[in-house]
Amino acid sequence: MKPFVFIADLFLEDYSGGAERTTQALIDSCDGEVIKIRSNNLTSDHIEQFKDCQWIVCNFANLSPGNKLEICKNVNYSIVEYDYKFCKHRSLDLHRRLEGSECNCMDRPESKINLAFYGLATKIWFMSITQKNIFLQYVRTVKEESISVLSSVFSAGDLRFIDSLKDNLKDDTYLVVKSNSWLKNFEECVKHAQDNNLKYEAVQNLPYHELLIKLSTSKGLVCLPSGADTCPRLVIEAKMLGCKLVLNELVQHKDEEWFDTSRSCREHMNSRREEFWNFYE
């Protein structure tokens, strides 16, 4: 069996983000050998060496146009799309905020390679239905028959750890996670808690499993992103741990059927690894 080649800007050992945790969960659940290459380290030699393998391209903001073109021409590849990389800001909301206009990135000559890159992918995995629909609207080369909604993916070990915490006694505190990212909108989350007389605690830079433990003993979570957040992992974790959720419409998966209850959320998360790898059997 030929190895699978995973391309990403960063892997979990580089940065402990939601996208990187999903990528790692996919890698960990692969039955075969995995080759990991950071996108800024990819060379033509890699493409030639592994051209007969199946490639999984995750975040690729650091992938050069030349390498994208070589991949299009020589490789059977899929894309796991975590945000909106057809936009130079990776966000339609940030584009609007910074440039004062709707995103027109796909109309620019330099975006032709991205049109090809999305259009020639064997499969594109999206994080939410809303994200998928926005891609269909903006990227004319994306084909309905070659796309699926995957959502975030959890390792079996992380799901077992969450299961071990779900019956913890909860206090009356809502959690607000402090982040320097404009998307996470920390100040607005704090303001909402204060305006609504919610007892809250702000946390920052907790190790992953400590954050899960903290969530498991908290009444709820306030998550009010300032731009489209395709499938925020923290919100899914809070749901599986029985927290009350204060969300806005920019949490893009929040109205999907699987997210209705803690149980349905947990069952859906358990199915994601198999859903992904069944495609490649």
Q: Please identify which residue in the block is written with the tokens 């433990």.
A: 213
Q: What is the mean pLDDT of the chain?
A: 96
Does residue 123 register a pLDDT over 90? yes
pLDDT for position 281: 87
The pTM score is: 0.95
Q: In this predicted model, what pLDDT tens digit does every residue of 127-141 receive, in sequence order?
A: 999 999 999 999 999
Residue 180 in this model has a pLDDT that exceeds 90: no
Q: What is the pLDDT of residues 211-229, one digit of tens each?
A: 999 999 999 999 999 999 9
| Predicted pLDDT of residue 1 | 79
Across the range 148-154, mean pLDDT stands at: 98
Does 189 lie in the same domain as 83? no
List CB contacts of 48: < 8 A, sequence separation 6 or more: 74
Strands 147-149, 244-247: pairing is unpaired
What proportion of the chain, given as a percentage, has pLDDT over 90?
97
Whether residues 186 and 67 share a domain: the answer is no
Q: What is the CATH number of the domain that holds 106?
A: 3.40.50.2000
Both structure tokens of 85: 């990389």
Residues 148 and 167 occupy one common structural domain: no
Would you state the structure tokens that stand for residue 280, as one six-digit string? 């490649």
In this prediction, residues 48-67 reach a mean pLDDT of 97
Question: What range does the domain containing 187 cover?
Answer: 156-269
- Please state the domain count of the chain: 2
128 and 167 belong to one structural domain: no
Q: Do 130 and 175 lie in a common domain? A: no
- In DSSP notation, 117-135 reads HHHT-SEEEES-HHHHHHH
Q: Are residues 181 and 224 in contact, defined by beta-carbon separation less than 8 angstroms?
A: no
Looking at the fold, whether 38 and 144 belong to one and the same domain comes out as: yes
Confidence check: pLDDT of 242 > 90: yes
Structure tokens that stand for 151 in this block: 């959502």
pLDDT class for 109, splitting at 50, 70, 90? confident
34 and 133 in a single domain? The answer is yes
Estimate to the nearest angstrom the gap between the alpha carbon of 249 and the chain centroid. 17
Give Cβ neighbours of residue 232 (< 8 Å, ≥ 6 apart).
18, 223, 225, 251, 253
Per-residue pLDDT, 193: 97
Instruction: Assign 74 a pLDDT band (cuts: 50, 70, 90).
Output: very high
222 and 135 within one domain: no
CATH number at residue 215: 3.40.50
Reply yes or no on whether the pLDDT at 201 is more than 90.
yes
pLDDT band at 110 (very low <50, low <70, confident <90, very high): confident
The answer on pLDDT for 65 being more than 90 is yes
Residue 42 and residue 124 share a domain? yes
The pLDDT assigned to 83 comes to: 97
Assess whether 127 and 162 both reside in one domain: no
> 234 and 261 in one domain?
yes
**Whether 37 contacts 16, CB under 8 Å:** no
Do 225 and 147 fall within a single domain? no
